[in-house]
Structures are given as structure tokens and as C-alpha cells.
Structure 1
Amino acid sequence: MAINTDAPHTTDALGERAALQSTDFGDTQKLLDISDKELKRELNHSPSDTHLVKDEQTEQTVVNVTSEPRSPSRVSFSRASSPTPEEREPCSFMWLAVISCFCLAVPINMFALYFAHMARSMIQANDYDGARRLGRLALLLSIVSIVVGLAIVLYLVMTEYNN
């Protein structure tokens, strides 16, 4: 798009230069009409790939649409990745988080249970990277909870025998 530098200019009351209102905006209007038509076509078709070709002689825009089926991974905006055939879905370690709830380290095992639940919900949403990350965190918190719980039990047993 070129700017018309040959248009006459005037100076208004503030001393700023402005183009006259009689300037021809035909090129701009053509571009806006073309972009509105393209937007309506894309909203109606919603193709995965659209190629625009402009014919200079007839000033028409031709839209070439390739209709490919949309995969669920293209629709999602998250970091979703599907497991490859040689690997399986990540584990949420819910069973270990439930076992850690029987230990005496109450705040730690509740966090382990929460992160295991979040990992399970991410598996259901097909976000396997996030599920792996939260599953590992649930595993770590469950193990820490069990170790701290056993240490508390051993401390209580040892102090009871000394009295």
C-alpha cells in the first residue's frame, strides 16, 4: 500500500499539517472489503490451511482451501502430548498418596494426595507432560510423608520405652 504524497496539505489552527478531506481512499476501502470477505470465509469454512493468491489484473482474491481433518492436538492450546506407542500413560501415584495418608505427617500427605488427584485429572485431559510432572511431585511428597511419619512413630516409641 502506497501513501499518496501528491495530495495537497493544509495547516489547521494548531499549526499541524493535515491532508484535505477530498483525498481518495479507494485503495484502502478495497483492502478492507477484501479482508472482510476473507474473514467471513474463514469463519464459515474454518480451514486448517488457507492460501491467498491475489490476481493483479482482475484485482480479485482467490482462496485455496485444503480441507484436512483437525486433530485434537491442534485445537488444544495446552502443552498436550500423546504418549508414543512404546511408552504408556504416566502414573498419578494415587495409591501411594492414599497410603501416605495413614502416616502422621499430616500437611505433607495432604499435598501428596492433592497433586496425585491433579495428575489424574491431567491424564484424563490428555496433558501427559503436566501429568508426569505432577505425578513425580506426588510420588516425592508421598515418600517424604511416609519417611517423616515413620520417624515420628520411631521417636514416640523410643521415648515411651525410656520413660
Structure 2
Amino acid sequence: MAINTDAPRATGALGESAALQSSDFGETQKLLDISTQELKGELNHKPDNDSVRSLQTDQNEDNAEKVGTGPLSPSRASFSRASSPTPGEPEPHSFIWLAVISCFCPAVPINVFALYFAHMARSMIQAKDYDGGKRLGRLSLLLSVVSIFVGLAIVLYLIITGF
């Protein structure tokens, strides 16, 4: 926007140039009118039916693919609440009592992991994730039994060698 330098300068009460106010206001108003008309035109623009239909079919195909393929075990994918036991089936066990007993054996790293997995299994069972609780409970059971056998082997070795 160019400034009109040929126009006489008249100053108002605040010291503003009256020539600039009158010429700039008209040009600014024209620009604002054009931009508001364009904005109204964009807001009133309706999308064509073909693009809406293609978008809906793409979304439906994506949803169908997501429903059809999923992880085999939901507890392995996340810690979400996946399943519930059947009415005749009891809740899975966390085997925390066995993990605590295995802590008295000298197989230190194994029994600590067994205790950790037993605690995680118990937490998952309380959160109603029975598949994850069952899986971690079995892992805790396995680590507890291995810890007990390794601990007994270490104790027998120390007794036999007389250390």
C-alpha cells in the first residue's frame, strides 16, 4: 500500500494526519470486505458427495481390517482387561506364597524374579486381566520351582564337599 505524499497534511487533535486516515481507511476497508467474502464463501462450500462417500468407504475398510486382525493374546499386546473366568472356573493363582518360600533358598537372582512376577500376577488379577495374571502366575511358579531345586543343589553340594 502506497502512501500519498502529494495530499496536504492536516493534523487533528492528537496530531494525526487526516489525509492518511481517510485514504488508508478506504483501502483497508476494501481489503477487509474482500477477505470476509472469501471466508464466507469457504464456510458455505459443501463437499461433493463423491469425496464424502470415498472417505466413508476408506474408513469402513480400515475398521474392518482392524477388527479382523488382532493379537493372539490380548495380554501380550497390552495390560488391558481382556477376559474373565467362566462361572465354574476360579480365578488364576499368583503363587506368591511359593515365591516367598523360594526366597529362603540360596538361588538369589532366580527367586527375586519369581517374587517379582508373582507380585505382577497378583496385580493383574486384581485389575481383572485374568489372561495376563495366569501367564505371569505360571512364570512365577516355574521360577519358584527352579529356584528351590537350584537352592537345594547348592546346599547339597556344600554339605558333600564339607565347606
Pairing 1:25–2:56 present: no
Q: Which residue of structure 1 aligns with residue 126 of structure 2? A: 124
2:82 aligned residue: 80
Give the structure 2 partner of residue 139 of structure 1: 141
Q: Give TM-score, length-normalised by structure 1.
A: 0.53
Alignment of 1:9-158 (within 5 A): 24-28=41-45, 78-158=80-160
**1:68-88 Cα distance to aligned partner (Å, 9 max, x none):** xxxxxxxxx814211111211
1:31-87 Cα shifts (integer Å, max 9, x gaps): 8xxxxxxxxxxxxxxxxxxxxxxxxxxxxxxxxxxxxxxxxxxxxx81421111121
Whichever structure has more strand as a proportion of its residues is: 1
- 8 A contact 2:81–2:127 mirrored in 1: no
Matched pairs, number: 96
Higher RCO structure, 1 or 2 (CA under 8 Å, sep 6+): 2
CA distance in 2, matches of 1:79, 1:158: 50
The whole-number CA distance in structure 2 between the counterparts of 1:131 and 1:86 is 18
% identity of equivalent residues: 73
What amino acid sits opposite 2:115 in the alignment?
A: L
Which AA in structure 2 matches 1:105? A
Distance 2:161 2:130 in 1: 46
Equivalent in the alignment of 1:16: none
C-alpha offsets along residues 121-148 of structure 1, whole Å, 9 cap, x if unaligned?
1111111111011101100100110010
Q: Equivalents in 2 of 1:145, 1:83: separation in Å?
A: 30
> C-alpha distance in 2, partners of 1:146/1:27?
76
Render the CA deviation track for 1:5-41: whole Å, top value 9, x for unaligned. xxxxxxxxxxxxxxx976522445x78xxxxxxxxxx
2:83 alignment partner AA: S
Which is greater in Rg? 2
Matching residue's letter, 2:42: F
Alpha carbons of 1:88 and 1:27: their partners in 2 closer, same or farther (altered >3 Å)? farther
Q: Which amino acid aligns with 1:25?
A: E
Which secondary structure does the structure 2 equivalent of 1:82 belong to?
A: coil
